[in-house]
Amino acid sequence: MILAALLSSLSSVGYNDGSIRIWEEDSLIVTLNGHSSAVTALEWDADALKLFSASKDTNIIIWDTLSHQGLARLKGHRDVVNSLHFLPTNHLVSSSNDSFIKLWDLNTHLCIQTLIGHRTAIQSTTIKDDILASGSSDGEIRLWSIDYEALKNGLSTDENNNIITFINYLTNLSTHTINRKRITQLSFHDSLPLLAILSSDKSIEFLRLRTAEEIKAKLARRKRRNKDKGKPVNENASEEVTINDRLTPHLVLHSNSKVKSFSFPPLPSSFDHKAPAQVLLALANNAAEVHAIPQPTKKSVEDSQPEAVRLHSLDLPGHRADIRALALSSDDQLLASASNGQLKIWNMKTQACLRTIECGYAICIAFLPGNKTIVVGTKSGNLELYDLISSTQIADVDAHDNTIYGIDISPSKKSFVTASGDKDVKFWDIVQVERDSDTVVDTKVTSVGIVHTRTLKMTDEVLAVKFSPDSRLIAVSLLDSTVKVFFNDSLKFYLSLYGHKLPVLSMDISYDSKLIITSSADKNIKIWGLDFGDCNKSLFGHDGSVMQVKFEKDSHKFWSSSKDATITYWDGDKFEQIQKLHGHQGEIWALVTSNDGQFLVTGSHDKSIRVWEKLDEPLFLEEEREKALEELYEADLNEAQNDQDDEKEAEDVHKATSATLMAGEKIIEALELADEDVNALKDYEALSDIDKAKVGAPPSRHAQFIAVGNPTADEYVLKFVLEKISPAELHDALLVLPFSHVVSLLSYLEIWSEKGWNIALVARVLFFLLKTHHHQIVANRVMRNTMIGLREKLRTRLSEQKSLVGYNLAALKVIRRAHDADTIAKYLEEEDMDEERANQRLKADEEALMNAGKKRKRIII
C-alpha cells in the first residue's frame, strides 16, 4: 500500500509486517511500528500532519507525523479494515470485512455512527463531495449521503427528539453492468465526474455523472414517455433527481490480464477538461498499463459508448506466472526459468533476458550437455526439447501419462532420468539426431535428441528422483512418504528410507555419495546415511512445506526453501542452522545452487527470481541465533497483543519490539551509570578535608563517560542516550523501565528543566511517565518535592518557549505583510491594476501555491 500525501514530496508506505515508512522524495524519514499484521489502508489528513493506517489486525491507528508517535488505536471493527477516508470536518470513515462502515470522531476517538446494510465484506469505499459509495464482495454497491452540516454541529436531535444521523442511505447503484460479482475497488475521480468500478475479472466499468443540462433533458424525456403512456404528468411540478439519474454508464475498459488495482493520476493545473482522462492499471501478470478514458461528446452521450485506448505499458522481462523450475548451465553463465507457458533464458552477469520461448506448463527443467539445449518436463507428461541458438522447439516427446515431477542428469552427462505421477521412472539416453532445418528448405541438420532405454515401475506416484554423484545409486521419492534407493546399473532394490509423515518433495545427495537429504510437506528436513539408511538428524527450520533442498558443491552444507517464503542455510555435519534469508513474498517453488558455490537462485510464487550472493564478510552464528530469538520474541509479543480482548474503542498505541526493548535497556544502563557516578561524587564531597587528603583524587569515572568526552551524568543520559532514541520508539522504550528507574529519571528531568535542555523532549517524557505511572507517583510521598520542583521549573521554561514561539509568529506576520505589500505594488506598477484587482490576483496566486501538489495518489499493491 502506497499513499502520497497532500504535499508532493511526502509519501507513506505500508508493509506486510505491519510497519509504515514515511518518505520525503527518496529519503526515509521515520518507520512507524504499531500494527501486528499487514497494512491494508492508509490516509492523510488535509494538512499531512496526521496519518491514518488500517491493518489486517482489525485496528486503525492515528499517527502524529511531527512527533512520530501514535495518538490512538481505534478498535471498533471485528475483521480486516479495507479502506479509510478523511473528512474535512475532522472525521474518519472506515469500512471492513465485517460488513460495517464506521464514522469516527477524531476529537474524541469514538465511533459516532455505524452503517449497516451490506450482507458481505465491504471491499472498497470512495467519496465524492457528499456522496459515499461502498462495494461488497457479493457485487452490491450502495450509495450514501454525507451531511456535513450535521457533522459540524455534532450530535443533536430533530423536532421529534430523534438523533440526527450524519450519513444516510440513498439507494443501491443499479446502472452498473458488472452485476453480482465481487467488487474489488471503487474510486471517484478527484476532478472529473467519473466513478470507476473494478470487479474480480479483467474489466473496469466507468460511470459518468451527468451534467445539469443532461439531467434536465433526461427528466423531460421521462415526462414525454409518461405522457405517451397516458400517465398523469404535472408540468409545473419539479421532479426529484435521484442519484441513479445523475449516474450513467460511460464505458467498459477491458484488459488482457486480471486487474489487481487502479489509480487516477492527478491532473495538472493546465489540464483541458475536454481531453481524455487517464487511469493506471496494475495487472496480475506483473505489468502496469496507462489507458485513456475519452470524454463524452454531444453525439455519443446517449447513443454509443466510447472506447478506452491503451497509451503506455510497463512490461518488465519477467514471468507472468509462478516460477516453477530453475536450472543453471554448467559454467554458471546462463539461467533457465520456466513457468506456465514461458521458458526464459537469462545472462547471469548482466541479469538480462536473452530468450523468451513459449512452452507447456513447465514443472521441471534441465540443461543438456553442451548448454545449448534445454529439456522441459510438463504437467501433461511431455518432454519438450528447445534449442537456445534458434529459440525453437526441436522435439516434443510423449514421455509419461501424468505430470513429470523431476528430471536429473546423470553424472556421466550421457543420459538423464524422469520421475512422473504415472508411477514410472524412465531413463533416457542423449543422442545426436538429424532433423529438418528451420531456415533452409530440404536441408538436414544435426541436433540433440533423446531415446528411451529403461523403465523402473513403482507402486505409487513418483515425486522426485536423484542420481548419486558416483553413479552407483538412484533415489526415488514416492507419494507414500518413503524414499526408495536402487542400484543404478541393475535397478535392484538397495534401501528404503521411511520417517516422514508426508511425501518427500525434494532430495539431494552429497558430493561423496555418503549423505542424502530429504525435504517433505511435513515441514521437516532429514539427513540420512547412504551406507545403512539410518536417519542422522531431523531438522525443523520452516513454517511451511519444504519445497527444495540442494547441497553446495564439494560440501555437506546445504540450502532449503519453503512455502513460508524463506531460505535457510544448514550445516549437514553439525546439524545446525547457519543463516535464514528473507525477501520473497510468496511460496518458493524452485532453488538452484551455482557450480562454484558462490551464489544461489530462487524462484517464487511472487513471480520474481532472486539471486543471492555470498559475501566475504564473516558470519557469526551467535548473531544469527540472536536474530532468530528476536523474531520469536516479536512473534510472541504480537500473539499476546492480538489475544488481548479489550472493550475500549480507543487506546494508546504501543508495540513492543526487539528495537524498543534494546532502547529501554540502554536507558536503564545509562541511569544506573549516572546514579553510580552521582553517588560516588556525593560521597567524595561529603568527606572532610582530612579524609579527602587520605583518599586522594576524586573517584575515577566509568570508561563509558570518558569514551564520549567526559560529560556530566545528567548530560550523558539526555544527550547521549535519550536524544539518540527514535521518537517513534521512545514511548515503548520508556515502558520497559522499572518504577525505581522512573523515579531516577524524574530527578534528571528536574535538572534538565532547570538548565533548559531540550524542553520539548523533557515535557514529552514527563507527560508520558505521569500518564503511565500516575497511581504509583501519587502514592509515593518521597517524590512530592521532586514533582513540585519539576512543576515550577518546567512551567517557567514552557512559558519562555511560548513567548519565543509567539515572537517568531509575529515576525513571520510582519514579513508576510511586507511581502504582500511589495507584490501588490508590483501589480499596480507593472500590470496597471487597481487595488481591488491586485488584491484578488494576490489571493489567487496564494491559493494556487497552496494547492500545488495537493493531489492524493494511491497505488494498492
Average pLDDT over residues 166-176: 81
Give 159's contacts (C-beta < 8 A, 6+ positions apart): none
Would you say residue 635 has pLDDT above 80?
A: no
> Tens digit of pLDDT for each residue in 598-611?
899 999 998 899 99
pLDDT digits (tens, 9 = 90+) for 731-759: 888 988 898 898 899 889 989 998 888 88
Grid cell in block for residue 563: 512455502
Give CA separation, 658 vs 603, 635, 664, 717, in Å: 31, 10, 10, 21
What pLDDT was estimated at residue 858? 41
**Mean pLDDT of the 336-341 span:** 92
Work out the pLDDT band at 434, boundaries 50, 70, 90: confident
What's residue 300's pLDDT?
46
pLDDT above 50 (res 855): no
| Amino acid residing at 425 | V
Whether the predicted pLDDT of 501 surpasses 90: yes
Predicted local distance difference test score (pLDDT) of residue 637: 61
pLDDT score recorded for residue 241:
64
Reduce the DSSP state of residue 138 to 3 states and report it.
Answer: coil
Q: Which position has the higher pLDDT, 845 or 569?
A: 569
pLDDT band at 854 (very low <50, low <70, confident <90, very high): very low
- Amino acid 857: pLDDT: 42
At 660, the amino acid letter reads T
* Rounded-to-integer distance, Cα 726 and Cα 662, Å: 12
Residue 783 confidence (pLDDT): 78
* pLDDT (mean) for 324-340: 93
Cα 9 from Cα 27, distance rounded (Å): 10
Angle, vertex CA 182, rays to CA 179 and CA 188, nearest 5: 80
Whether the predicted pLDDT of 260 surpasses 60 = yes
The pLDDT > 70 percentage for the chain reads: 90
User: How is residue 505 annotated by DSSP?
Assistant: E
pLDDT of residue 646 exceeding 60, the answer is no
Q: Which of 102-106, 227-231, 326-330 has the lowest mean pLDDT?
A: 227-231
The answer to whether 223 and 233 have CB atoms below 8 angstroms apart is yes
pTM of this prediction?
Answer: 0.75
> Which pLDDT tens digit goes with each residue over 31-68?
888 888 899 999 998 888 899 999 998 999 999 988 88
pLDDT value, residue 127: 93
Q: According to the model, what pLDDT value does residue 647 have?
A: 61
Q: Which residues contact 517 (CB under 8 A, 6 or more apart)?
A: 507, 508, 510, 525, 526, 527, 528, 549, 551, 558, 572
**Picking from 121-125, 234-238, 394-398, which range would have the lowest pLDDT averaged per residue?**
234-238
Q: Is the pLDDT of residue 622 over 50?
A: yes
Q: What is the pLDDT of residues 196-224, one digit of tens each?
A: 999 877 888 888 888 777 777 777 777 77
Share of the chain above pLDDT 90, in %: 41
What local confidence, expressed as pLDDT, does residue 416 receive? 95
Residue 286: its pLDDT value, please?
Answer: 79
Range from 149-163, 639-653, 721-735 that averages highest in pLDDT: 721-735
Model pLDDT, residue 477: 96
- Whole-number average pLDDT of the chain: 85
Helix (H, G, I), strand (E, B) or coil at 645: coil
314 contact partners, CB below 8 Å, separation of at least 6: 287, 288, 289
Q: SS in 3 state form for 162-215?
A: CECCCEEEEEECCCCCCCCCCEEEEEECCCCCEEEEEECCCEEEEEEECCHHHH
Instruction: Specify the 3-state DSSP secondary structure of 763.
Output: helix
- Residue 840 predicted with pLDDT over 70: yes
What is the C-alpha separation between 834 and 184, in angstroms, rounded? Answer: 55
pLDDT bucket at 859, cuts 50 / 70 / 90: very low
* Burial category of 431 from C-beta neighbours within 10 Å (exposed 0-12, middle 13-18, buried 19 and up): exposed
Average pLDDT over residues 337-365: 92
pLDDT at 334 over 90: yes
pLDDT at 853 (0 to 100): 45
First to last CA, the chain: 5
pLDDT in tens, 442-461: 677 778 889 999 999 999 99
pLDDT above 70 (res 463):
yes
Query: Which residue did the predictor score with more confidence, 180 or 268?
Result: 268
pLDDT tier at 686 (50, 70, 90 boundaries)? confident
CA-to-CA distance for 315 and 290, rounded, in angstroms?
Answer: 12
State the pLDDT at residue 642.
56
215's CB contacts (< 8 A; 6+ apart) are 241, 245, 246
**Residue 225: predicted pLDDT:** 73
